[in-house]
Amino acid sequence: MRHLLSALRTIALVLARPAGHTVRIAHILPGMAGAAMVSYGAAMVYTPAGVIIGGGFLLLLDRQIAVGSQKRPARAPAQES
């Protein structure tokens, strides 16, 4: 029974990281699709406007990724008195 639980725990730990990445990517996809549609629509009216808007969306996405990847400082452990 212990071996089965250990195997299940190992499988869960191996699958946790890819599942987390999938959730993060799925969270971003609607926004990226919307940005692509706005850029394409602007490009249909005036091509340079579509390129400029697309570049602006990429800059915003780059900034969001940079801010999200900064690690938060760890809290100091509580001291017992």
Name the pLDDT band for 76 (thresholds 50, 70, 90).
low
Say how far apart CA 70 and CA 57 lie, in whole Å.
Answer: 20
DSSP state of 66: H
Q: Return the closest-CA partner of residue 50 out of 32, 61, 37.
A: 37
Say how far apart CA 28 and CA 58 lie, in whole Å.
Answer: 13
pLDDT in tens, 16-62: 878 777 777 777 778 888 888 999 999 999 999 999 999 999 888 88
Tell me, yes or no, if the pTM score tops 0.85. no
Radius of gyration for the alpha carbons in the chain, expressed in angstroms and rounded: 22
